[in-house]
Amino acid sequence: METLSFPTLTVGLIAWIAGIVLSLRLPDQKQRRGVAAASALLSAVCALTTGLQVQRAHGMHLSDPWLGFLGADVKGALILTLLSAITAGLAILAPRRDCGGRALAGLLLIGASAQIAYCASNLRWFAIGWVLSVLPVCLSFFGGGLNLRPVTGFITVSTALGVGAMFALGSSPGAGVFALVLVAVAFRKGLFPVHSWLISAFERGPLLATGLLFNTHFGAALLTRPEVSPLFEKYPTALDLVSYSALFTALVTSIRCFTERTPRRLIALICLSQASFILAGLVTSNEAGVTGAWVHWLVVVTASTGLIAILRILEVRVMDVVKPEGQLGLAVRAPRLATGFLVCSLALIGLPGTLGYCAEDLLFHGALSSHPFLGVVLPLATAFNAINLFRLYSLLFLGVLPKRVIDVQDALNRERWPLVACILILVASGIAPGRIITAMSPASVTHHSGTSTPLSHP
Amino acid sequence: MPAEILLKSLILLPCGVFLLISTLWLLHDHLSENATARFHGWTHALMVAITIALGWELWRSSEHVIHADFGEWFRVGDYHFRLAFILDRLSYPFVVLVTVLTSLVGSFSVRYLHRDPGFQRFFLLLRLFTVGSLVVFTADSLDSLVAGWELVGITSVLLIGFFQYRREPVRNALRVFATYRIADLNILIAVFLAHHQFHGSAWNELFTGSWPNSVPVPTGSVAGAIALLLVLAACGKSAQGPFLGWLARAMEGPTPSSAIFYGAISVHAGAYLLLRVEPLIRASAAATTVLIGVGLITAVVSTLIHRTSPDAKTSLAYACQTQLGIIFMEIGFGFTNLALIHAVGHAVVRTMQFLRTPSMLSDYHRVHAASGGNLGPTGGQYESILPQPIQIALYRIAFGRAFYDVVVDRFLIAGAKAVSRSLSWFEPNWLQTPHETAAPSASAPVSDRPARH
């Protein structure tokens, strides 16, 4: 098996671990924030270097020379780079109250778990990554206590199901085991009708950490594993099942938004709806749809993180944001946050000029080719999400500023740069999407042919 | 200079200016009003010069068509998105409208919005709108047209909510945005169907020959469905038929944006789309019937409402809808040249009318004084020849604005909300709010440090 010329994945993992340890031990908040951001950035650089090496090797899967159980292909490296960069961004812009040692360590642990899962050479390591990702929430790294108990219960059940399914898959892959895998995916991804725990986690949990956990998309990643892909060929009805399940989730959550007024719940429902498109695209079994799903994956990760971060920034500045009674008119005081929110929203729903447009264009074309009904309903769900995102934007940023809200700061310097980076990623890759789409495309071609999968060995 | 480069620079110029100014703004570097005005003046003077040069090149060319190809935007297997543009006898009048009218409206806005807190925002959105509308009118395929179409839509909505510190503009912007999104579904599905059935959506893949003598390549029921979907999409953009009610709501924006969007360019984008795909519509009896029917009904209803509207801008909005209804009918009957002349003439006159509305009373007093105080009533009241009960019924319909908003509120919005509420059944209470007293973590510190920021 080909290996990387330098153990970048090992270095990345060590950076995560060092970051976690130092975040827990350092007493000073500034130092903690700096160390956490630096370790996540170093991991991002390592993932990027891995990606470049893989690209030079014509997209071949390369293993790490030191830790043989880690390896990556172009897609895995690209997603990992983005997730690591986003973890760094969150560590930089997190409000002070979210920068406790345990909270930062929790964020880094989720980032590290993503590296282990996305680079895992077998299902055992993928399962370890899955378990590590939920540990910070289950062990109350972010506080929450009693308030989060039902969510923690759901997460534990979904993790148990996932781990059970993965171990069973390793021994005897049959119909029952495949059904268990699908149930685990449904729980983890929050597919209808088991979507409510994720909304609750967004509503009452730590927003930044929940957003990061949501954006790991381990459920979708599990379906693209080489151990799972052949089962779709053996049981083709599962493709329809997953596809319609994703479709219902997208539609139901987008309709559900119409009667929601709480920003956190609105964001949760919209992100859930848009993220369901990824699954719908992955099971289209055609090149355009699968590539669209992968590109949409990147869009959802970037844009939803931008939205979640801005919402959290506003929450700590203005208490009314938690449960607004009317429009808050914050654009007057925080125009840059408003612009960031608008651009991320528009990218998420596919505005031309952003990567979201290319992703949805490919996704809808692919969906229409495989399931005409899917191709019609997905744009409808996007339209509903667009309406609800604009409703949320107007709720937060437009209208009359309440009299008690006297002074709200616009984006601080440490908040501005991650947000500008987020916008730049969405816009620059939207104007020139060729390289990203090409990077996401070739492995997708063989996704359902059984000869190769995007996240593991060819 | 080759015509292709001219066409490319016409599209790229406002795009570059938009990106430059928005980056400056994000980096905290404000342009003064004077600098913005000068910048706008020079940019648009250059754009008008390029447009004139393009006109000359178009006239000189043997086929009266200019192509500009930016190459493939992206490709996945057989599916590719080609970024190509075209300037022909149909698109050139609309491009002239865009460059000339945005220049004029921009110059007007420099004084109109003087010292307004949203001065920079207005000019940024105006530039984005210029990019979007140029893309719509020069697109070489339905794919590219959709990209411009959506940019025009979003800038339009953001300008309706321009006075963001008032409730009504914000509410109306949301309603218009929702209408646009639902209407735009039709064009999206039409594009996907075109790709799915005919493996492309470029004009030269859908038609042979140049406008107005083009002949549709695809035929059959799917082609008819595409034509019908495009008619519905055009209805959304031009506030016709099922999307009748939004234009009056759009009047909440500043007058210059009302002039350029709802008097001139944005609403006529629907007419442009119909003119472009007219051969496809002509081949489908259902699409033609719907087009003529929608145009007729909207023209009649809108002219009635126009006569009972209490304020000038709303009245103008419905008058605009009336003319667009007539333009739709002209296209439906196949009078494409007449429809094109009508659309361009209407856009210019309506822009002038919108820009004069803030000083309408002053104008009236001046004319009144000039006539020595003997100003007679204007316009013939043709409806007075109808029997009185019919007059009253029509007046009621007109005064209630055809009860459009009531129907939408009671049946569509309330219905959607009822379905939404019923879906909450899948979110069990014990998972939602088991501890009502415990606030979300926004108010509670989640770290091991005391809460402060």
CB B236 within 8 A of CB B179: yes
Q: In whole angstroms, what is the distance from residue A404 CA to residue A406 CA?
A: 6
Pick from B75, B440, B447: CB nearest A99? B447
Q: For chain A, which residues score pLDDT lower than 70?
A: 1, 144-146, 442-458
Print the SS3 string covering chain B: CCHHHHHHHHHHHHHHHHHHHHHHHHCCCCCCHHHHHHHHHHHHHHHHHHHHHHHHHHHHCCCCCEEEEEEEEEEECCEEEEEEEEECCCHHHHHHHHHHHHHHHHHHHHHHCCCCCCHHHHHHHHHHHHHHHHHHHHECEHHHHHHHHHHHHHHHHHHHCCCCCCHHHHHHHHHHHHHHHHHHHHHHHHHHHHHHHHCCCEHHHHEECCCCCCEECCCCHHHHHHHHHHHHHHHHHCCCHHHCCHHHHHHHCCHHHHHHHHHHHHHHHHHHHHHHCHHHHHCCHHHHHHHHHHHHHHHHHHHHHHHHCCCHHHHHHHHHHHHHHHHHHHHHCCCHHHHHHHHHHHHHHHHHHHHHHHHHHHHHHHHHHHCCCCCCCCCCCHHHHCCHHHHHHHHHHHHCHHHHHHHHHHHHHHHHHHHHHHHHHHCCHHHHCCCCCCCCCCCCCCCCCCCCC
Residues 30-89 of A with CB under 8 A from B: none
Mutate to test the interface with A, among B167, B447, B452 (most CBs of A within 10 A): B447
Residues of chain B numbered 366-425 and touching chain A (CB < 8 Å): 416-417, 419-421, 423-424
Q: Measure in Å the smallest separation between the Cα of B12 and chain A Cα atoms.
A: 12
Q: Which residues of B touch A357 (CB under 8 A)?
A: 147, 150
Q: Which B-chain residues 152-171 have CB contacts (< 8 A) with chain A?
A: 154, 157, 161, 164-167, 170
Q: How close B228 gets to chain A, by Cα (Å)?
A: 15
Q: Is the full-model pTM beyond 0.90? A: yes
Q: How high is the pLDDT of residue B436?
A: 43
CB B86 within 8 Å of CB B140: yes
Shortest distance between the Cα of B365 and any Cα of chain A, in A, equals: 36
A10 has a chain B CB within 8 A of its CB: no
Pick the residue from chain B with its C-alpha nearest to A317: B453
Nearest by CB to residue A287, choosing from B77, B424, B448, is B77
Tell me if chain B has a CB within 8 Å of the CB of A265: no
Whether ipTM > 0.85 holds is: yes
Taking contacts as CB-CB distances below 8 angstroms, the residues of chain B near A206 are: 441, 446
Is A319's Cβ below 8 Å from some Cβ in B?
Answer: yes
List, as ranges, residues 207-236 from A with C-beta within 8 Å of B: 207
pLDDT of residue A447: 41
Which residue is closest to B439 within chain A, CA to CA?
A204
CB pairs below 8 Å between A and B: how many?
211
* A chain contacts of residue B181, beta-carbon cutoff 8 Å: 383, 386-387
- Per-residue pLDDT tens listing for chain B (453 residues): 688 999 999 999 999 999 888 887 776 667 789 988 998 899 999 999 999 999 999 998 888 899 999 988 998 888 888 899 999 999 999 999 999 999 999 999 999 999 998 898 999 999 999 999 999 999 999 999 999 999 999 999 999 999 988 889 999 999 999 999 999 999 999 998 898 888 888 998 888 888 888 888 878 889 999 999 999 999 999 999 999 889 999 998 899 999 998 888 999 999 999 999 999 999 999 999 999 999 999 999 999 999 888 888 999 999 999 999 999 999 999 999 999 999 999 999 999 999 999 888 888 888 888 888 877 766 567 777 889 899 899 999 999 999 999 999 999 999 999 999 999 888 876 666 544 444 444 433 333 333 333
In this predicted structure, what is the pLDDT of residue B148?
Answer: 95
Which positions in chain A touch B440 (Cβ < 8 Å)?
147, 203-204, 264, 322
Of residues B146, B154, B447, nearest to A346 (C-beta)? B154
**Which pLDDT value is given to residue A284?**
85
* A358 close to B (CB below 8 A): yes
Give the pair of three-digit tokens for residue B304. Answer: 């009635």
So what's the pLDDT on residue B56?
94
Considering only CB atoms, B174 lies closest to which of A264, A394, A397, namely A394
Domain residue ranges in chain B: 3-112+119-358, 385-423
Quote the pLDDT of residue B383: 73
Chain A residue at shortest CA distance from B181 = A383
pLDDT tens digits, A310-322:
999 999 999 889 9
Distance from CA of A156 to the nearest CA of B (A): 15
Q: Are the beta carbons of B164 and A398 separated by less than 8 Å?
A: yes
Q: Which residues in chain A are closer than 8 Å to B451, comparing Cβ atoms?
A: 97
